[in-house]
Amino acid sequence: MVKSTWLVGLLLFCSSLLAATPRVITLAPHLTELAFAAGITPVAVSAWSDFPASAASLEQVANWQGIRIERIVQLKPDVVLAWRGGNPQRQVEQLQRLGIKVEWIDPQTLDQMIDALADLRRWSPHPQQAEDAAQALRAQEMQLRQQYQQQQPVRIFLQFGQQPLFTASRNTLQNAVIELCGGRNIFADSTVSWPQVSREQVLARHPQAIVIGGKTAQAASIAQFWQPQLAVPVIAINDDWLSRPGPRLLLAAQQLCAALHPAKNSTKID
């Protein structure tokens, strides 16, 4: 009888924990990363949600073609995390009209990204984890800023693609990473966030280094593309770290800072 009572009590306790855990859906890979960093395991995610590794096994309800609205409704989320830069606004607004709470997360600066992580404590079964993760990122950012802010500025061309050429302006997180490492984005003054530029425009601004998102093997082909007019170092940064506006941006910054200033001891980010 005692054993039976204990078992019933345990089941009730577990049920109450499950009921209290918010059901969260993420509609972009970096939102999935932010959720996990905050101690949240989403009930569903977007395509290409592959970090951490456990995210790859979760149900996918969004991809480049759009959002699976009916399935999201069936999953009965407490909140859907959406991204203005990648999710179709009309479909997201349709979710809202169906009574589903949506929170847009669209950080434009490193501080906004870190604040977004801290804010996710409201939906986390482990709110202190969200706070601790945000504080750790703030400390890492401060360490890099203090370490590299006095370095001689390096003129950088941030290259995306090749034909056509795209880059990033000051209104991007990628620019924030460059500035954190003492770099100077040669197209920071562009009036659009992701301008298309010509070879001639790049050459006219005399970059001292080119930064790409990709693997080291790609750097050689990029360097070949610019020769003989431009012979500067090509720095390859892990593409997921650099392109996703999530917690691993600080890893991208660490990698870039070390490459730009190899003579200076770099701060290790775990």
243: phi then psi, degrees, rounded to nearest 5: -90, -25
pLDDT score, position 16: 46
Does residue 203 register a pLDDT over 60?
Answer: yes
pTM over 0.85: yes
Q: What's the mean pLDDT in 241-260?
A: 96
pLDDT tens by residue, 142-185: 999 999 988 889 999 999 988 899 999 998 999 999 999 999 99
Q: What percent of the chain has pLDDT over 70?
A: 90
* Distance separating alpha carbons of residues 108 and 139, to the nearest angstrom: 19
**Sheet of 66-67, strands arranged across:** 45-46, 60-63, 66-67
Lowest model confidence (mean pLDDT) among 5-14, 73-82, 111-120, 224-233: 5-14
DSSP 3-state assignment of 52? Answer: coil
| Average pLDDT score, the chain | 91
Domains of the chain: 2-106 (3.40.50.1980), 151-260 (3.40.50.1980)
Q: What's the mean pLDDT in 37-49?
A: 98
Q: What's the mean pLDDT in 239-260?
A: 96
Closest CA to 161 of 222, 209, 226: 222
254: phi then psi, degrees, rounded to nearest 5: -60, -45
DSSP 3-state assignment of 100? Answer: coil
pLDDT tens by residue, 5-14: 555 555 555 5
Q: What is the DSSP letter of 99?
A: T
Lowest model confidence (mean pLDDT) among 11-20, 32-41, 105-114, 138-147: 11-20
Does residue 18 register a pLDDT over 70?
Answer: no
Cis bond before residue 233 (omega within 30° of 0): no
DSSP string for 142-211: HHHHHHHTTSPPEEEEEEB-SSSEE---TTSHHHHHHHHTTEEETTTT-SSSS-EE-HHHHHHT--SEEE
pLDDT score, position 17: 47
Q: What is the DSSP letter of 214?
A: S
Q: What percent of the chain has pLDDT over 90?
A: 83
- How many CB atoms within 10 Å of residue 131? 17
Closest CA to 245 of 106, 49, 52, 84: 106
Q: How deeply is 246 buried, as exposed, middle or buried, from its count of CB atoms within 10 A (0-12, 13-18, 19+)?
A: buried
Token pair belonging to 116? 């977004």
* Distance separating alpha carbons of residues 32 and 40, to the nearest angstrom: 9
pLDDT score, position 269: 44
